[in-house]
Amino acid sequence: MITKYTKIYIAGHRGMVGSAVWRALEQKGYSNLLGKTSEQLDLRNQQAVNDFYNHEQPEVVIDAAAKVGGILANNNFPYQFLMENLQIQNNLIDGAHTAGIDKFIFLGSSCIYPKFAQQPLKEEYLLTDSLEPTNEWYSIAKITGVKACQAIRKQFNKDYVSLMPTNLFGYFDNFDLETSHVLPAMLRKFHEAKQNDNADVVLWGSGKPMREFLFVDDMAEAVVYALENELPEYLYNVGSGKDITIKELAKTIQKVTGHQGEIIWDSSKPDGTPRKLMDVSKMKNVGWEYSTAFKEGIEKTYAWFLENIEDIKEVRL
């Protein structure tokens, strides 16, 4: 039975998703939230995680901890993206199970699905074909987490559920150009170009790929929904169910930031997966759907970016 006093551990509570989950829970009156920084608890260390569980005894675990990055980072550091994510989630999942924790919410990514899977992506397409090569290391780790939670659910009848978000953006995003995802990187590029006499903005690829985006506070609401309800299946997609081209994304961000220059597409650079749209009907059928319109989410993110420009990690403006 979940109450406002249930002890809930949010792994990765200072990241974009984890902090959004923390805010959402606080706003709903949850008063027994637990978080540890990576300096306080190294999630790659199995013994440290087990000791933490034994000492703190949380009743619910929300796993928003991961080593994340865009195409460039995934390409350059395949071993770290595979091994560190496996270590983090295996320690959290197995430790929770061993400690007798009955509710676990595992957060993954839409990149777990095959590169050329039929659109929109349904949960049952998992493991039916090959992955996108540029982020397969991260994807394989996340698939393993999904399967670990499914196995515990099947064998021990515990409420371990996996939520697979689409591309998320919002407050506390990573705006570093070398390691960030497409939307925050683009937002920073347009902002800097505007500051630089509306200089031209050069973007990767053709601009033709389709992407779906979800404001991170909506993702947090989906996590709260999974916390407060026992969902009947092991895996759920979380998204808007709507996608746009990267060109449309660029035009929207250009408009929000007020950039007046030209957009130049560097087609020598990779596009990545041609399309990634989630089928979100399963989440909708159990009673949850997104609420923040795309442009509104961009406006909120840009306002936050401007307010926090001096403190944003690695922003180096």
Gap between the Cα atoms of 180 and 70, Å rounded: 5
**109 within 8 A of 121, measured Cβ to Cβ:** no
Active site annotation includes 234: no
Check whether 316 has a pLDDT greater than 60.
Answer: no
Binding residues for substrate: 189, 204, 211, 271
Predicted local distance difference test score (pLDDT) of residue 315: 44
pLDDT for residue 153: 98
In the chain, helix, strand, coil percent, each to 5? 45, 15, 40
Confidence (pLDDT) at 313: 52
Domain annotation for the chain: domains and CATH numbers = 8-307 (3.40.50.720)
Average pLDDT over residues 112-121: 92
Averaged over 12-17, what is the pLDDT? 95
Residues of the chain with pLDDT > 90: what percent? 85
CB neighbours of 263 closer than 8 A, spacing ≥ 6? 200, 201, 203, 250, 251, 254
Q: Which residues does the annotation place in the binding site for NADP(+)?
A: 12-18, 107-110, 142, 165-168, 181
In sequence order, the β-bridge partners of residue 60 are 8, 103
> Is the preceding peptide bond at 120 cis, omega within 30 degrees of 0?
yes
Average pLDDT, the chain: 94
> Mean of the pLDDT values across residues 229-255?
97
Q: Which is the catalytic residue, given 9, 53, 138, 236?
A: 138
Span 112-132, average pLDDT: 94
pLDDT of 310: 81
Kindly write down the DSSP assignment for every residue of 138-192, as one continuous string.
Answer: HHHHHHHHHHHHHHHHHHH--EEEEEEE-EEE-TT----TTT--HHHHHHHHHHH
Cα–Cα distance between 167 and 122 in angstroms, integer?
A: 16
In this predicted structure, which of 228-232, 245-249, 282-286, 312-316 has the lowest mean pLDDT? Answer: 312-316
Binding-site residues, in ranges, read: 12-18, 107-110, 142, 165-168, 181, 189, 204, 211, 271
- Non-local CB neighbours of 305 within 8 Å, separated by 6+ positions: 175, 187, 188, 191, 312
The pLDDT of residue 317 is: 41
Cα–Cα distances in Å, from 291 out to 121, 251, 280? 20, 22, 13
Give CA separation, 160 vs 80, 104, 123, 278, 311, in Å: 26, 5, 16, 21, 36
pLDDT at 205 over 70: yes
User: Residue 36, Cα to own-chain centre: how many angstroms?
Assistant: 19
**Predicted structure pTM score:** 0.92
Which of these ranges, 115-119, 292-296, 301-305, has the smallest mean pLDDT? 115-119
Question: Tell me, what's the pLDDT at 72?
Answer: 76
Gyration radius (Cα) of the chain, Å: 19
